[in-house]
Homo-oligomer: A and B are copies of this chain.
């Protein structure tokens, strides 16, 4: 049974662990600083079956397959999957996971989806609803650009604060007996400080990240330095600066231990991604390609993984709404 701690946080039982994980990314991500860490780097220069959406679904299939391989599980060994993506009605997950025949719960948290689905998978395992539950998510530069911004062929100019949607997917299997523990976590609140610029997602999400991290630190009575790293994702360059300012204002100095998945995935200058990476697949692939392997190998021992999402659609944007943010947090340790 999980234990509620303080206002909003939760601690899972010792048996809630990561038993497998997998990652699949595109060529750009594969030639970034973490390129060697991913299970699969796929050639994404042409759309699969003529559809970038099919390409995104294939990334989810690849990541899940790699996670099952590491967990030594067949699809029948996974009781349920929690999955989502940025596409309208989460069709990336629908078509990516359809072939596996595993019961599925759809999740939407924009770029925070990996932390949210990992929370749900851990809850399912803790509740006894699943012996093994998986969390899967993805994003794709080409599907996101077309859906949220402009057709690729338009060649739109990108603003300096804009982020690059990662072509990437990550999958995690939660069950008992793994080396990395899912210690606990904190569900995010929807936070709206009035940012309405869809080309500055980092600013829209930073307040939510600070809100959730501060809530978890207060609830658990811990300080940033108690962790080897606090990973946010995907605040990018702009959002990371704002996050650290907000943390300082709340009385926490996180500068030394803070890392951001949107800054880790790319060589920001060389790869011309402006303010950094974003997308459900960004923090998911950094989690599964970098954070979890580093925990398994003992290079990291205790970390916070706080994935952040910008809650907007093209309709809400066109109607002049603000972009509220949300951030869900998971603590991992060995």
Contact = CB atoms under 8 A, between A and B. Distances in A.
A95 B315 CA distance: 13
Interface in A95-148: 95, 97-98, 101-110, 116, 119-120, 123-124, 126-131, 147
A98 B229 CA distance: 30
Contacts of A271: none
A311 to B, nearest CB: 4
A102 B110 CA distance: 18
B88 A313 contact: yes
Given A89-B311, A123-B129, A97 B4 contact: no
Contacts of A10: 128-129
Interface string A316-327: 100101001010
A90 interface: yes
Give this chain's copy count.
2
Given A84-B108, A106-B107, A123-B123, 16 more contacts: A2-B128, A4-B79, A4-B130, A89-B311, A89-B312, A91-B321, A94-B324, A97-B190, A98-B324, A101-B189, A103-B186, A104-B187, A105-B107, A105-B109, A123-B127, A123-B129
B104 A315 contact: no
A278 B284 CA distance: 34
A51 interface: yes
Contacts of A326: 104, 106
